Amino acid sequence: MVVGIVIGSGVFFKADNVLEASAGSLPTALFAWLIGGAIMVVTAYVFSKIATRIQKINGVVDYFEQAYGRTAGYLVAWFMTFIYYPTLVAVLAWVSANYTQGLMGVEGALWPLSWGYMTAFFLLNYFSPVLAGRWQVTSTVVKLIPLGLVAVVGTIAGLTNGMTVQNFTVAAKTVSHGGGGLALATLSTAFAYEGWIIATVINAELKDAKRTLPRALVVGTISVVCIYMLYYLGISGVLTNDQVLAQGDAAPVRVISIIFGHLGGTLLTVFVIISCLGTLNGLIMGSARGMFSIASRGLGPKPDLFCRVNPVNNCTTHSAMIGYVLSCFWLVVWYGNFAGWWGSFMDISELPIAFLYVIYISLYVWVMKTFTDLGALNRYACPCLAAAGSLYIIWGAIQKDMFLHFLILSVLILAVGVRLMRGDRPRNRRRTLG
């Protein structure tokens, strides 16, 4: 489950971003993937200790509420609902459409197709959450196929023809603006490594969760790091560093076509698209339940309305509508980056994740203060290492273009949430998801 949740689109469309931020150096890029992975592993381990004590169903929202009170938990839920989920939904819809447009060989379909994918999967989650769940399982199996084939075949080819050695010794010469540094490269990997936190919500359903969950999170996240780095080596065995940067988001598709020919490349590109759509569906499942999570606590605007669940299909009807509207808004913001509306690039694929790491640091402090029965390793050493990793991710985000603009926008959105916070619980109509 951990591997299936984490692996998605990020490793495909962030390959060139990591290399560019690393000034075209393959060793630096691989080191960034390793640092990002190490941060994920230690963070997941610390959260496994929290999850086995707080066996509820909303993950980080419940943890923050337990640590700092109802208002704090509400603000985290508001952030997840209005910023985190819809921004990533918008980006994933665009990524899926980008690869589809490349496969179809047509121009001008990118943004209509992005909106179409987003709308289709919101409708799927609206009318049939069961089918949405089945799609999630299917896409999890499919997404490993292109990764595994590129990793194995590309690495063997690169070691045989000397391409891998060349890429390790010769940096790309076409990097614009001097790259960005290791911190920015690590931040780019954070998108690809995101998602493991969702696994903590099943702790109440596990047998011997105190042993099983930490093992699953640690082994699962380490497996993801190994898969990603092998996949990245596979790409370097087929394309030079300059070619990876020139191809941009299309680099994985180009690698697949070179290795497996036109027909095989087309088939595996379809698998890449299915992988991206699987991640999109998973994020939409979260986005559709955002306002429900807030309303079920008796908080936010009209909790009686947003905590309703359709008795026929078990869908959080009104909550899903809000999730769709918010995702459309952030898709327009993402479009504005490419249309030049903002004068720079507001990277909503990375900045919301960095903001989540600020929340994580607060939880590490809480662990060190309150988990008195843990040994020094679990109570102090691991949280401190995880906090250091979070600070490194945040430092990378601070260096991004329009970081301050995104920060101000996020603060304004949270301020609106504070204004709309209510203390009354829904009356009579409160239901839980089955």
**pLDDT tens for residues 229-260?**
998 899 999 999 988 888 887 788 788 888 88
CA distance 389 to 326: 30
Question: Predicted confidence band at 280 (pLDDT cuts at 50, 70, 90)?
Answer: confident
Q: Computed from CA positions of residues 58, 64, 67, 73, in that sequence, does the dihedral angle turn out positive or negative?
A: negative
Q: H/E element holding 339?
A: helix 317-339
Say yes or no to pLDDT of 82 above 60: yes
Mean pLDDT of 22-41: 91
Q: Name the superfamily (CATH) of residues 2-89+139-285+348-410.
A: Amino acid/polyamine transporter I (1.20.1740.10)
- Assess whether pLDDT exceeds 60 at residue 423: no
Q: Is the pLDDT of residue 213 over 80?
A: no
On average, the pLDDT of the chain sits at 85
* Phi-psi label, residue 373: left if phi above 0, alpha if psi -120 to 50, beta otherwise: alpha
CB atoms within 10 A of CB 303: 24
Residue 404 pLDDT exceeds 70:
yes
**Which residue has tokens 């890449």?**
272
- Per-residue pLDDT, 50: 86
425 confidence band (pLDDT: 50, 70, 90):
very low
Alpha-carbon distance of 186 to 188, in angstroms, equals 5
pLDDT in tens, 130-167: 776 677 667 767 777 888 888 888 889 888 889 889 98
| Residue type for position 216 | A
Answer yes or no: is pLDDT of 204 > 60.
Answer: no
Query: Which of 118-127, 280-289, 341-350 is least confident?
Result: 280-289
Residues 368 and 131 sit within 8 Å (Cβ to Cβ): no
Q: Is the pLDDT of residue 60 over 80?
A: yes
Report whether pLDDT(433) > 50.
no
Q: What is the band of 379 on the pLDDT scale with cuts at 50, 70, 90?
A: very high
pLDDT value of position 416: 94
pLDDT higher than threshold 90 for residue 417 = yes
Domain parsing of the chain, residue ranges: 2-89+139-285+348-410
